[in-house]
A and B are shown apart, each in its own frame.
Chain A
Amino acid sequence: MKIRFLSTKFHTAAENMAIDEAVLNEIASGNSLPTLRLYGWQPAAISIGYFQSLKEEIDLEACETSGIDYVRRITGGGAVLHEHEITYSIHIPESENVIPNGILESYQILCGAVINGLTLIGIDAKFIPINDLVVTYNGTPQKISGNAQTRKKGIILQHGTILLKVDVDKMFSLLKVPDEKMKGKLINDVKQRVTSVSTILARDIPFEEAHDFIYKGFQNTFPSFEFTSGELTNNEKNSIPLLVKDKYGNDDWNNKR
């Protein structure tokens, strides 16, 4: 299967989600190839799952003060702080019959590419259903990657984040918690259950290095895929501003639930 490799570098939260949707639409129309995309978020932003309540999950004032952006995804799952991380999205038509129909199995296969990429820099990650990758660190399984999938117009879209560095205190300064009294305990709890590439390797990992090993991970995992570096098509580029204005940059969408 021919697959386009898109490296879109850094964009805003709304633009990043708009690009994912623009690409999905063009593939569904038959005008673009299946696509693997790697990207970053500038400014740093929180993305929430489709089923989450924006106001309940995010402290909007704290985000504003800290210059952190936010967006609702079209995929389910939880709130993610995209700061020191790299995000991938992979778009594959179901009709290509290269990814299992079962959603749980397909998570495992696609996350396998991220696992492979992490192996290349010496990190041994494991897939924990439904959608997590964990590394055993200090004797406990700690989450290093979260993933989310949707299937629309016959296209499988899975995107996920790989944590390059993590600041749990910062995360919680931007999120709301169910029980304020338990916040301190919750933060300590999460600190034991979340890790990052730089924590495990005891060195800072730049975006470019992660870009490299994640791409290689996908290439290794899917040897029958012919990857070619490409660009956004004119149709894709042209649809992005409207998707930002009417959807991802719009309160109607972000405040949907």
Chain B
Amino acid sequence: MKQGIYKVPGGKLIKILLDEHDGKVSSVKITGDFFMHPEESIDNMEAALKGIPIDKEKIIARLNDFLLDNKVTLLGADSESLAHTIINSK
């Protein structure tokens, strides 16, 4: 299990627990003091990252698709900062 933590400049704190295999996300747990609307989307967002290569641009794209498709609003964090935290997990 890898861990990541990142204070988004001008935003909130993101914490990541990452299980990876073969350079891909097996599972990810995203916690922190940010806001997401609707709140329950977090589980689906974590699920949406399953199998994605640990690659910043790919993760950003996957998250952006998720946010758009599901009309989810993130406050205090964004796709870029989430991806940053994931790829910098150790």
Flag if B37 contacts A103 (CB, 8 Å). yes
Q: Which residue of B lies closest to A151 (CB)?
A: B37
Complex CA–CA separation, A148 to B76 (angstroms): 12
Min CB gap A147→B, angstroms: 11
**Chain B residue contacts of A76, Cβ below 8 A:** 33-36, 39, 75-76
Flag if B37 contacts A56 (CB, 8 Å). no
Min CB gap B50→A, angstroms: 17
Q: How many residues of B contact A (CB 8 A)?
A: 19
Contact partner of B75 (CB less than 8 A), chosen from A53, A56, A103, is A103
Flag if B31 contacts A148 (CB, 8 Å). no
A130 touches B (CB below 8 Å) = yes
Q: List 6 A-B contacts (CB under 8 A).
A: A52-B33, A76-B33, A76-B76, A130-B35, A130-B76, A151-B37
**Chain A residue contacts of B32, Cβ below 8 A:** 51-52
Contact partner of B73 (CB less than 8 A), chosen from A50, A103, A131, is A103
Bitwise, A3-32 to B at CB < 8 A (1) or not (0) is: 000000000000000000000000000000
A245 touches B (CB below 8 Å) = no
Tell me whether chain A's interface is mostly helix, strand or loop, or mixed.
Answer: loop
| Chain A stretch 220-239: residues in CB contact (< 8 A) with chain B | none
**Chain A residue contacts of B67, Cβ below 8 A:** none
Min CB gap B76→A, angstroms: 6
Known: A56-B31, A130-B75. A51 touches B36 (CB 8 A): yes
Flag if B35 contacts A78 (CB, 8 Å). no
B5 touches A (CB below 8 Å) = yes
B30 touches A (CB below 8 Å) = yes
Q: How many residues of A contact B (CB 8 A)?
A: 23
**Chain A residue contacts of B42, Cβ below 8 A:** 50-51
Bitwise, B12-52 to A at CB < 8 A (1) or not (0) is: 11010000000000000111111111110010000000000
| Chain A stretch 121-159: residues in CB contact (< 8 A) with chain B | 130-131, 148-152
Flag if A150 contacts B33 (CB, 8 Å). no
A49 touches B (CB below 8 Å) = yes
Flag if B29 contacts A257 (CB, 8 Å). yes
Q: Which of B5, B31, B33, B38 has the most CB of A within 10 A?
A: B33
